[in-house]
Structure 1
């Protein structure tokens, strides 16, 4: 059976459309520094940690999915959970929602990172908004909601970074931004997909109501590069 492109989306993206934003060789890739701290493995159950050590600095932290093995010396598993990978199966969203949003550019990068740090929609870096189209709503010059695109493979594009400042929730900003992205993706011949943590039941329910369906529920981990000499010394 041929694996679905989404089943190893980070590897397929980092060795495909986003290879220009990637670092690494052999059986492992990472987004280059400044982008979202995400790893991709050719075989998710057999990460090449020797190559990772070459391209990752002590103190860096990364997200990866599917890997369930033990961490070797020099690495620590800092968090583990599962997430739903969801694919859109609904109709073309109507024209209009999100059209009044601002397209984000590098001048908005620091605000985007600050909003992501506050709301924690997933891994985000100063250059993440270069990975696709990002849109946001502002109030008095302050970015209060955003959504955009991250990974991409043939026929599929991810909606990511969906978040709203706590003081501005309940106004429909996130849904409008998502509908704008979904509409433009579908019109380009791409199927929208997204990730949501399994523990985030309200968001999962919302996405189901919007027309997304569960594709898979992989393990997701945050791993960190540590200094093995420190462990030896202690």
Structure 2
């Protein structure tokens, strides 16, 4: 793969919705959003298009994110916060021995997966996010306690996402094993894994660096919601 193709990661939502995830796209002529049942993210090529497109999408979702540069928004909306993330990429497989059985999650696990991710990271994982890619889990006493999976997908890149562990089961290395498993599976598909992590989540950043991820750039997730004044 040519290194120059990495610039597609500079606009990950737009490029995912223009490539592998095109069927999930709502196209507003210069801005694209995921169908909100799957993912609350949008991206754009044309800054001027964001003013109208963001307002239209707000009728479908009360709380969502535009990823990348700061969008223009109408007075009826507000930017609740800017989440600054590190976009990290890994270039070779992780060498690891798996200490726990890792299960590929299927439809019967969908509700349990939804509940676990939203317990730990509420607001990002929607009812149909499960359908965007593969998800893997570790079970203890027949309960799902840790997961990792795939979210944004381009022709040559797949995002590792939803790396969460139930608070009662942290400290057992589950995130390390599941992240490694997801990464290696993506490499087996001849794609390059990447991920986003909030820059202040130093524990997670340290884990990903140990696995071989390196920071490529910072990426802003602009959280947009209704303006209470209107």
Query: How high is the TM-score relative to the length of structure 2?
Result: 0.88
Structure 1's 121 and 140: CA in aligned 2 closer, same or farther, altered over 3 A?
same
Query: How high is the TM-score relative to the length of structure 1?
Result: 0.87
| Counterparts of 2:37 and 2:223, CA distance in 1 | 17
- CA deviation vs aligned residue, 1:71-99 (integer Å, no higher than 9, x gap): 3222111111311000103x422475277
Structure 1's 3 and 100: CA in aligned 2 closer, same or farther, altered over 3 A?
closer
- CA deviation vs aligned residue, 1:107-143 (integer Å, no higher than 9, x gap): 2222222212221177111111111110111223322
1:121, 1:162 within 8 Å by CA — same for their partners in 2?
A: no
Alignment of 1:1-234 (within 5 A): 4-43=7-46, 45-57=47-59, 60-68=62-70, 71-89=73-91, 91-94=92-95, 97=98, 100-120=101-121, 123-226=124-227, 231=230
Superposed CA RMSD: 2.4
- CA deviation vs aligned residue, 1:197-231 (integer Å, no higher than 9, x gap): 0111111121111101111102222111458xx62
Structure 1's 158 and 74: CA in aligned 2 closer, same or farther, altered over 3 A?
same
- CA deviation vs aligned residue, 1:9-32 (integer Å, no higher than 9, x gap): 100001221010122331112111
1:76, 1:226 within 8 Å by CA — same for their partners in 2?
A: yes
Number of paired residues?
Answer: 227
**Unmatched 5+ residue regions in structure 2?**
none
**Unmatched 5+ residue regions in structure 1?**
none
